[in-house]
Structure 1
Amino acid sequence: MMRAWILPMLLVLSGSAVAAGRLFNGSPGTATAILLAFLALAGVSSPLVFPRSIGAEEAQRRSALDGRPVVFWRPGCKYCIRLRIRLGRGARQLHWVDIWRDPAGAAAVRAANDGNETVPTVVVAGRPHTNPDPEWVRDQLSPSA
């Protein structure tokens, strides 16, 4: 779990250091803008942006019942962030599995991607799709989901 927070913590610490330097140079406005930018980057790269993750087995079980896709992701992945942001509210309809928290999820991604942990990997109707277009993923959501 700690690994998921390394990048956001580094961004906050770096932003704080750069902002402190600007503040001591007499530029409080610039310091504030820099700190806010780094905090925004830390927020986007943190696990907080994503819906609550569940285990791979539970996600696959739920997907079999309701037909909704399963998304395997990891914190800090720019393609996962792109998918999450472009899906908007629709992201909450998917089952999200953090492969850094769930070894079974990581194994499922490796099995689908020739041994690589390439994310996002979206499983729709039992078929994996690596880094699919967010519009395509949105189209896979049923209207009743």
Structure 2
Amino acid sequence: MKRAWTLPILLVLCGAAGAAGLALTGSTAAAVVLLLLFLALAGAHSPLVFPRSVGALEAERRSAADGRPVVYWRPGCQYCLRLRVRLGRDARRVHWVDIWRDPAGAAVVRAANQGNETVPTVVVAGRAHTNPDPAWVREQLTD
């Protein structure tokens, strides 16, 4: 879990340091803008942006029952963030598995990607798709 928060914490610390430097030189407005920018970046790269993750086994069980895709992801991944943002509200209808929290999920991703932990890996009907187009994933959600 600590690894998932490393990048967001570093972004907040860098933003705070830069803002403090600007504030000391008298550029209060620039300091506020810089800090807000770094806080937004930290939020976008945090696990908070994604719906609650479940374990790989639970996600596979749920997917078998409802036919919805399983998305294997990790915090800090720009492609995972792109998928999440482009899915919009439909992201809650997908089963999300954080591979940094779930070793079984990481194993599924490695098996689908020749030993690499390439994410997002989306599994639909037992078939893995690495970094698919978000529009295609949305199509898989039509009921």
TM-score normalised by structure 2 residue count: 0.99
Residue 129 of structure 1 aligns to a residue in which SS? Answer: strand
The CA distance in 1 between the partners of 2:126 and 2:45, in whole Å, is: 28
Gaps of 5+ in 1: none
Report the counterpart of residue 7 of structure 1 in structure 2: 7
The CA distance in 2 between the partners of 1:5 and 1:142, in whole Å, is: 33
Residue 7 of structure 2 aligns to a residue in which SS? Answer: helix
Corresponding letter in the other structure for 1:17: A
Q: 1:47: how far off?
A: 0.2
The CA distance in 2 between the partners of 1:37 and 1:89, in whole Å, is: 24
The CA distance in 1 between the partners of 2:23 and 2:87, in whole Å, is: 38
**Alpha-carbon displacement from aligned partner over 1:68-106 (angstroms, at most 9, x marks no partner):** 000000000000001001110000000000000000000
Q: 1:10: how far off?
A: 0.0
User: Identity over the aligned pairs, expressed in percent?
Assistant: 74
Report the counterpart of residue 55 of structure 1 in structure 2: 55
Corresponding letter in the other structure for 1:36: L
The CA distance in 1 between the partners of 2:17 and 2:69, in whole Å, is: 41
Residue 72 of structure 1 aligns to a residue in which SS? Answer: strand
The CA distance in 1 between the partners of 2:45 and 2:6, in whole Å, is: 10
Report the counterpart of residue 80 of structure 2 in structure 1: 80
Report the counterpart of residue 121 of structure 2 in structure 1: 121
Q: 1:142: how far off?
A: 2.3
Report the counterpart of residue 38 of structure 2 in structure 1: 38
**Alpha-carbon displacement from aligned partner over 1:50-73 (angstroms, at most 9, x marks no partner):** 000000000000000000000000
Gaps of 5+ in 2: none
Q: 1:9: how far off?
A: 0.1
The CA distance in 2 between the partners of 1:127 and 1:37, in whole Å, is: 39
Moved over 6 A (4+): none
After superposition, the CA RMSD in angstroms is 0.5
Residue 123 of structure 2 aligns to a residue in which SS? Answer: strand
The CA distance in 1 between the partners of 2:65 and 2:101, in whole Å, is: 23
